[in-house]
A = this chain, B = another copy of it.
Amino acid sequence: MRVKIGLLGLGTVGTGTAQILLDPWGRNPILKDIEIKRVGVRSPSKSRQVQVSPEVITTDLEQIVIDPEIDIVVELLGGLEPARSLILQAIAHKKHIVTANKAVIARYGDEIYEAANQAGVYVLLEAAVGGGIPIIKPLKQSLGANRIKSIVGIVNGTTNYILTQMTAAGADFGEVLAEAQKLGYAEADPTADVDGWDAADKIAILASIGFAGRVKREDIYCEGIRQISAADITYADKLGFVIKLLAIAEGSKGDDSETLQVRVHPTLVAKDHPLASINGVYNAILVTGEPLGQVMFFGPGAGAGPTASAVVSDIMNIVGILKSSGGQPQGLDPLLSVTHQHYCSLTAVEDLKTRFYARFLCQDVPGVIGHLGTCFGRHNVSLESVVQIGYQDQLAEIVVVTHEVREGNFRQALGEIEQSEAISSIPSVLRVL
């Protein structure tokens, strides 16, 4: 039995995918039963790194998603449209879907899964999070026996590269970003990466699977790394931390309720924490569950080869199911499909309980530290340390680390502190893992 696929897009990941499929030697033998029936591209005459026979290539993407001979549509266009419409149209024509498109799933996952469940087809998306790292399938299948407590990940390679370089070179954000753009690790418009949106898309997907509920993408608290300075990295280092952009989903289950906190922000991570040593463009995802404890998945979070590896693993998964059912699966495997329909109730960031790091520039007058302590105390914010760390432009630089406090209280205290004459500015406020 041969399974026919239609490929939408022949960019970096599409090319990597076709390269694996056209060169199955030494890989899982199931690949030999897969045929690329059609490849949809924008510019058919463009020269490419892979030899796809010209008669397979078309610019008519719709023709692919309705082709009765195609079993699996592999969407590698990226972006919201026409990806969303083509996926929905393919589902309506009973095609299984494999996609690497985190943006479309994070925003339209509900609509897409609902359509897929009605049509009895799979929508697999291993490549959407963590590039080549197997995380979606392990989370669905291997960790499903657990009560998931948290998912904490470094899921954006660009920002991890920038923070790693800033740490290694003591350089500021702007310089390192420019260098990363030169090297191709950051895009010309780096917004989606450096402002945390890409990481938010990914944690929306992971949270939805791990906590078995829908997550509204727009409710995710999201803070990027533009404001991180070389000074903060140095002070964090002195305190025993590195700064990482973390995507975090934490659940707390009461007897009849379940609340979820989903957020993306730069975070101080203790140097002996497993995520602290994940450097460069690598990604890692740490999952905590009961009774499992902690497992971590580490690997290349982007790139043609790793992402194509994940795309092809999803194709293989569907081919395996088709082969074992003579091409006609009677129903969907509940561990591979996504059937939850309720929305997780997300806690507002004000109710987050976390430790904070904050840096203040103050007039160098007696009593400033006492004043800070009093303000924080008034709002129930308990301090772990207050250290005057140096001088800058004749202002005293003071770094505060709190115990675990409610974010709302901390913000109120900050608001009050900002008003005081002795405080010139608050250049940075960061959470501590």
The residues of A with any CB-CB pair to B shorter than 8 Å are 16, 19-20, 26-31, 126, 132-134, 137-138, 141-147, 212, 253, 274, 277, 289-300, 303-306, 308-310, 312-313, 316-317, 320-321, 323-326, 329-336
A296 touches which of B289, B298, B332 (Cβ 8 Å): B298
Given A27-B146, A142-B137, A277-B277, CB of A333 within 8 Å of CB of B329: no
Cβ contacts A to B, 29 pairs, < 8 Å: A16-B291, A19-B291, A28-B144, A28-B335, A29-B334, A30-B335, A31-B145, A132-B293, A132-B295, A134-B134, A138-B138, A141-B320, A143-B313, A144-B316, A145-B308, A145-B312, A145-B316, A277-B277, A289-B309, A290-B305, A291-B305, A295-B298, A296-B297, A296-B299, A320-B333, A323-B331, A323-B333, A324-B331, A325-B325
A292 close to B305 (CB less than 8 A):
yes
Nearest to A120 among chain B residues (CB) is B324
Contact of A325 among B30, B31, B303, B329 (CB under 8 A): B329
Question: Contacts A27-B146, A133-B295, A295-B300 given; 15 further ones with Cβ under 8 A?
Answer: A20-B145, A132-B293, A134-B134, A143-B309, A143-B313, A145-B313, A289-B309, A291-B306, A292-B300, A292-B309, A293-B305, A295-B298, A317-B335, A325-B330, A326-B331
A144 touches B333 (CB 8 A): no
B317 & A326 in contact (Cβ 8 Å cutoff) = no
Residues of B within 8 A of A138 (CB): 134, 137-138, 142
Chain A interface mostly: mixed
Closest 6 CB pairs of A and B: A291-B305, A295-B299, A134-B142, A145-B312, A28-B144, A320-B335
Interchain CA distance A138-B285 in the complex, whole Å: 15
**Residue in B142, B320, B332 whose CB lies within 8 Å of A334:** B320
Q: A291-B304, A309-B292 are known contacts. Are A126 and B147 too (CB-CB below 8 A)?
A: no
B-side contacts of A289, CB under 8 Å = 309
